[in-house]
Structure 1
Amino acid sequence: MNWTDERVEKLKKLWSEGLSASQIAAQLGGVSRNAVIGKVHRLSLPGRAKAGGTTTAARPKRTTSAPRAPNYAARVATRTVTRTAGATVLKEEVEVDLVADQDIELAPNVVIPMSRRLGLTELTERTCKWPIGDPLKEEFHFCGNDSPESSPYCSYHTRLAYQPSAERRRMR
């Protein structure tokens, strides 16, 4: 299938009218739904018109430079929720906290052990293999404290690594 100028213009027109890719493929003939979707993306066409008559904004192109840090400045968002009042369904706007503040309290009997600062070649079956620091930095090391046979970590790091599922859900 060859994308001629006339077919591209017809594709743009049908896309802006809100037709689905399948409907456009049927009208163009000789082209698949996936071919229509691919051409729409290559042309960077904006979002289609929806049944309500509004258009959605085109998605920004992705770059593979660096991941973005989360924006914690926008902590409150407005969401539309529905609820029933008798036989009537009501829509209302509610404000929702996007990031919940968590107060983490350490138990008073928690003792953080001093690490023995072992390197990778110094680890044995009976030493804690909990990594400490950035592996690309000079001061990177492993905990190195004694660990039981059944665990790669000392008792302190075992509690950090293997949290009960109920406790993890509470922290979310």
Structure 2
Amino acid sequence: MTWTPDRIDELTRLWNTGHSASMIGKKLGVSKNAVVGKAHRLNLPARPSPIRKDARPAPRRRPAALPTPVVPDEPEGSVAAFEAPKPTRLAERRSGQSCQWPIGDPSDKSFHFCDDPALPGKPYCSKHCASAYIKKDRDRDRGESRVA
């Protein structure tokens, strides 16, 4: 296919009236990409992008970090001055000794962990292990029913 002066004039006229590249291509018997390429070589005005820049989703915000608890100073002679503060964050807890089941909303001041003795090799106490770990039923996994 060659671009004759008549076809170039028709392309320019249709382009300037706002026809789409695919519609111009159908009228001239060429592909949309051929129309776009020729319009570019002829330095015809660029079309606005159909993608709107303001339609992008808002960036995700990171959740706020939990505040570090402030322990008030105790008088030197008091009993509380010699007691270690109870850990409030999971990273500060010694794993394997007490239940690490979170209770409450982490952003609330009343948030805490269970602290019951943990089962050996598990991060939770027996009560919370029953909630956290569910045994699979072999017959159910194979699609068989238990009705006799």
If each structure's strand is expressed as a fraction of its own residues, which one has the higher value? 1
Verify same fold: TM over 0.5: no
Choose 1 or 2 for highest CA Rg: 2
If each structure's helix is expressed as a fraction of its own residues, which one has the higher value? 2
Give TM-score, length-normalised by structure 1. Answer: 0.33
